[in-house]
Amino acid sequence: MLFLFPLMILVLITYNVVVFFTGISLNAELFSVTMVSDAVWVFTVSDLILLFGLFLLFFEVLKATRTGPGISLDHLLSTLVFVAALIEFILIGKAATSTFFLIVVLCFVDMTAGFSVSISSARRDFSVGGGGHGPY
């Protein structure tokens, strides 16, 4: 059942909690590092949320490689998360940020990668098990 849970919703929840409930600015500095070039790299709350999203996207792509029952429901839920994120981006003022736009893009990549990987896996499974044609 855990495999059916759309992980990208955790990124949306994290963004919404930070923006709507904590009052923390997305641009708030978490830490900074002076590089060898003397440039200063600043890591912000926004960067942390996006890093979290990229991390979860990795696991979503791994989930997409499995076949079997429930995979269609997983794709449906990923699609719903993407649509919800897109609607929030368009309609809610506090979601009209570059950070949230990139979260919407992460949700889109999750959705399309899930469909693409599943189709490729199904095609491979069909050709391996396939119909008695060929020498094997």
DSSP 93: G
74 close to 63: Cβ distance less than 8 angstroms:
yes
**What's the pLDDT tens digit per position in 110-126?**
999 877 776 666 555 55
Looking at residue 3, what is its pLDDT? 66
HSE of 5 in the Cβ direction (CA atoms, 13 Å)? Answer: 8
Would you state the structure tokens that stand for residue 120, as one six-digit string? Answer: 């490729």
The pTM score is 0.83
Is pLDDT above 70 for 132?
Answer: no
**What's the pLDDT tens digit per position in 21-33?**
998 999 999 999 9
State the amino acid at position 89 in one-letter form. F
Looking at residue 135, what is its pLDDT? 52
Residues in the chain: 136
**Range of lowest pLDDT (10-24, 82-96, 118-132):** 118-132
